[in-house]
């Protein structure tokens, strides 16, 4: 009976320690620098965008340092379902008229972790161009121009509904 219980405890220990979620969640904390961004396989990052960096803290908080806007953005992160990285970002939703402070709204973005080994990480997301523009994700991009005709509005709407696969490569720097 003791051997049976000991064997059962041993098996439970082995199976509970084999979670890939835990592996990625334990490997992610650190300071990461973006080294490349791809749009449907085509390199689409600029030198300035490649200086974007993210500090993933072990407590589920991240801080992204954006060289394009020269600002820091904070949010939360969580690894689930073996290879999903869910990141929340706060986006300005407007200004309060009473005290002139900003109102924020949360935006959640879910990436697939393609590779996370040692000091290299690659994330992928499949989304519409318009959604990427709305969340800005990891690299700045040109926002929609001011439109003058209904035809231009329809053309822009069709373009923003194009499905793209974006890949972001990072290297750990600390």
Residues 6+ apart with CB under 8 A from 72: 63, 64, 65, 66
Closest CA to 170 of 104, 132, 134, 120: 120
Residue 14 resides in a domain: no
Domains contained in the chain, number: 1
160, part of any domain: yes
Residue 87 placed within a domain: yes
Give average pLDDT by consecutive 10-residue segment, the chain, 174 residues.
47 43 81 91 75 92 83 89 88 81 84 94 90 73 76 87 91 90
pLDDT, position 100: 83
Task: Convert the pLDDT of each residue in 76-103 to its tens digit.
Answer: 999 998 899 999 987 777 788 888 888 8
**70 domain-assigned:** yes
In a domain, 3, yes or no: no
Cα distance between residue 100 and residue 134, in whole Å: 23
> What is the pTM assigned to this prediction?
0.73
Where residue 90 sits, what CATH number does that domain have? 2.40.128.280
């Amino acid at each position: 009976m003791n051997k049976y219980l000991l064997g059962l405890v041993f098996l439970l220990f082995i199976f509970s320690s084999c979670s890939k979620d835990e592996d990625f969640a334990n490997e992610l904390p650190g300071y990461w620098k973006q080294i490349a961004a791809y749009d449907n396989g085509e390199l689409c990052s600029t030198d300035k965008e490649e200086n974007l960096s993210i500090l993933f803290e072990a407590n589920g908080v991240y801080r992204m340092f954006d060289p394009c806007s020269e600002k820091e953005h904070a949010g939360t992160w969580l690894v689930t379902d073996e290879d999903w990285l869910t990141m929340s970002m706060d986006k300005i939703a407007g200004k309060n008229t009473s005290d002139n402070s900003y109102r924020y709204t949360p935006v959640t973005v879910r990436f697939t972790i393609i590779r996370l080994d040692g000091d290299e990480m690659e994330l992928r997301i499949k989304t519409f161009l318009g959604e990427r523009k709305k969340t800005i994700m990891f690299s700045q991009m040109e926002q929609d121009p001011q439109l003058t005709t209904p035809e231009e509005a329809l053309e822009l709407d069709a373009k923003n509904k194009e499905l793209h696969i974006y890949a972001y490569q990072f290297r750990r720097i600390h």
